[in-house]
Amino acid sequence: MTTAPQTAPADALPSELVRRLLTLATAGSAPSVEVFAPATGVKIADLPQSDTADIENAFVTARRAQREWVQRPVRERVAVLRRFHDLVLAEQDIILDIVQTETGKSRVHAFDEVGDVAVNARYYAAQAQRLLAPRNPRGVLPVLTRVEVRHRPKGVVAVISPWNYPLALAVSDALPALAAGNAVVARPDNQTALTALWAIDAAERAGLPKGLWQAVLGRGSVIGGEIIARADYVDYTGSSSTGRTIARQAGERLIGCSLELGGKNPMLVLADADVSAAAKIAVRACFASAGQLCESIERIYVHDSVYERFVTEFAQHTRNLALGSARDYSYEIGSLTFQRQIDTVTAHVEDAVAKGATVLAGGRARPDLGPYFYEPTILADVRDGMTVYREETFGPVVSVYRVGSDEEAVERANDSAYGLNASVWSRDTGRARQIAARVEAGSVNVNEGFIAAWGSVAAPSGGLGISGGGRRHGPEGLRKYIDTQTIAVQRALPIAPLPGMSEAMWAKTMTLYFGVMKALRQ
C-alpha cells in the first residue's frame, strides 16, 4: 500500500467562500454545530442549524416561488439546467475541493460526482419537455370523449440526502424535481452542507429564481419530522433503517416518498470471465469513496476454476492503491468520513478474523495518514455468522467466496435482504445477461462494477427488497415528482341512453360496442 505525496492540505477552504455559502441556508435559530474535515481533523465551519420556524419559513418561501416557477414554460426551466451543467463543469475545481474537504474522499471519486451531476442535468434538460407533455389517450367513446392527461408538479419536494456522495445525491435528485415545476427544500447532511449550498448558489447564478431551492440544516433525527410534516413529497437517500422511519412519517401524511437505501452488493465472476479485467475493475467497484458508496461491491463469488488467479490479481491491485488526501489525482483512496465509519469497519474485520476469516489485503487502520484512513481490505474464508457476511459495512471491505457453479453463484448472490446493485462477469455476454436477469437487484452490470448502470441516466436506478423501492434517473426519476390529472371532455352525446332509449336497450347497445372494441383489440 503506497502513500501519495500531500501536495496541499485537504482541510482549508477559503473562509470568504464558506461565509458566503452559509448565508444561503435557511438556518441560524438553533445552536450551530462544528464540522471537521475528516482527512485532517481540522475544523471547516460552525454550521448554523434550523429550528421549526426556519423550516416553516423555507417552505413558505418555497411555495411562493413554486407558484411562479410552474407558470414558466418547460423550455425556460430546462435552460437553467443547461447553464447549471456548464457552471458545474467550469467551476469543478472549487466544488471538488469542497467535496474532498467535507468527505475526505479522493479527487478521483469526487470527480465521479461532478460527472453524475453533469449527465443528470443534461439528460433532464433534454428530456423534461417530452416527459411533461400532455397526452391524449382514447376516451370511453372514441371521438365523442376527448381525454387529456396533464402533469402537475407535487409542489414542494423535500430532498433529504446523506454525506457519502454529497454533490450527486443532493443535486441529481433535485434537478428533475425542479424541471418538473416543483420547489425543493433540501436537507443535506451537516457534514456536507457546504457542497449542497454551493450547488444552490450555482443554480441561482444559472438563473434559478431565489427561494425555489433552499437548504435547511440539522440532524435528520432532529428536523426530519418537521420537514416531512410540510413536504408534498419526500426523496430520501440513506440507510434502510432510517428509510423505514421516513416511510412511516410519509405514510402517516399520505404523501409519496422515494427511498434509496443500503446495499450488500454481489459480484459474480463466472468461469469464462476475463479475469484480469474483472480483478482490475473490482478495485474501483469495491473501494470507490473508500467503500462508502451504496452501489459498492461487498461480496464477490468467483468460480472455482478462476478463483486463485482472480484473487491473486485483485489482491495485488488492491495492495498497490495509493492512499492520501491531497487535492489532485495522484492517489486513489481517501479517508473515511466519520469515527463511526472506522469503528464499523474495524468491528466487521475484527469479528471476521476472530471467527476464522483470512485477510488477503489491508485489514488495518492508517492513523499515520489521518484519523479515519483504513486500508482497502479483502477477506476470504468468510462464513455465515460473521457480521460482515450479511450486514452492510459501507467501508473498504470486501469478502471473496469460491463457488462451484453459476447456479451456486446466483443462489448465494440472492441470499441477502438487500437488492441494490450487482455485477456479472463473463466473456459470453448473452449468458451473462441471462444470469443477470436472475439476480435480485435493481441494477446489474455485466463486465462492469456499478458505473455502467449508474451512469446510464436514461435508465432507472434503485433497489429491491430493503434497498428501497425508489427510482432515480430516467423517466421514473422525473415522474415521481408529478401527479397526473385527467381531463375528459364529453362532446355531442352523453354517455347515457339517447332520448327515448330504454335502459335495457342501452345495455344491449353497449354490450355490442364492448364486443366490437374487443374484436378490434382496442
Q: Is the dihedral of CA 498, 502, 505, 511 positive or negative?
A: positive
Cβ at position 331, least distance to ligand NAD in Å: 23
Distance from C-alpha of 379 to C-alpha of 521, rounded to nearest angstrom: 58
CB of 505 vs ligand NAD, minimal distance in Å? 58
> Which residue among 102, 260, 375, 448 is the active-site one?
260
Which three three-digit cell numbers place residue 61?
418561501
- Closest to ligand NAD by CB, 61 vs 164, is 164
- The string of DSSP letters for 342-404 reads HHHHHHHHHHHHHTT-EEEE--SB-TTT-TT-B--EEEES--BTBHHHHS---SSEEEEEEES
Q: How far is the CB of 60 from ligand NAD (least distance, A)?
A: 21
Bridge partners (DSSP) of residue 377 are 397
DSSP state of 290: G
Residue 443 has φ and ψ, to the nearest 5°, of -130, 135
CB of 65 to ligand NAD, least distance (A): 23
Q: How far apart are CA 408 and CA 386, in angstroms?
A: 20
294 is catalytic: yes
CB of 462: closest distance to ligand NAD in angstroms? 7
- Active-site choice (102, 294, 313, 448): 294
Which residues make up the interface to ligand NAD (CB under 6 A)?
160, 162-165, 169, 189, 219-221, 224, 237-239, 242, 245-246, 260-263, 294, 392, 394, 420, 463
Provide the minimum distance between the beta carbon of 173 and ligand NAD in the complex, in angstroms, as a whole number: 9
Q: Which is nearer to ligand NAD, 175 or 420 (CB)?
A: 420
Closer of 106 and 426 to ligand NAD (Cβ): 106
Comparison of 211 and 465: residue with beta carbon closer to ligand NAD:
465
Cell numbers at 406, concatenated: 453459476
Q: How many CB atoms lie within 10 A of CB 33?
A: 16
Shorter beta-carbon distance to ligand NAD: residue 51 or 148: 51
DSSP 6-56: --S-TT---HHHHHHHHTTBS--SEEEEEEE-TTT--EEEEEEE--HHHHH
Beta bridge partners of 35: 45
DSSP 297-341: EEEEEEEHHHHHHHHHHHHHHHHT-EE---SSSS-SB---S-HHH
User: What residue has cell string 475493475?
Assistant: 281
**Shortest spacing between CB 257 and ligand NAD, in angstroms:** 11
User: Which residue number, 181 or 238, has a Cβ lying nearer to ligand NAD?
Assistant: 238
How far apart, in whole angstroms, are the C-alpha atoms of residue 251 and residue 82? 35
452 burial via Cβ count (<10 Å: 0-12, 13-18, 19+): middle
Shortest CB 67 distance to ligand NAD, Å: 26
Element (H, E) at 488: strand 482-490
Q: Which one, 124 or 394, has the nearer CB to ligand NAD?
A: 394
Return the CA Rg of the chain.
26
Among 364, 376, 324, smallest CA distance to 104 is for 324
Closest of 374, 234, 400 to residue 301, by C-alpha: 400
Q: Pick between residue 238 and residue 266 the one whose CB is nearest to ligand NAD.
A: 238
- In whole angstroms, the minimum distance from the beta carbon of 394 to ligand NAD comes to 5
**In contact, 85 and 121? CB cutoff 8 Å:** yes
Residue 339 CB, shortest distance to ligand NAD, in Å, is 12
Nearer to ligand NAD, 49 or 426 (CB): 49
Residue 244 near residue 448, CB atoms below 8 Å = no
| Helix pair angle (74-90, 107-132), 10° resolution | 170
For ligand NAD, give the closer residue by CB, 62 or 80.
62
For the question of residue 257 being annotated catalytic, the response is no
| Residues annotated as catalytic (active site), given as ranges | 260, 294
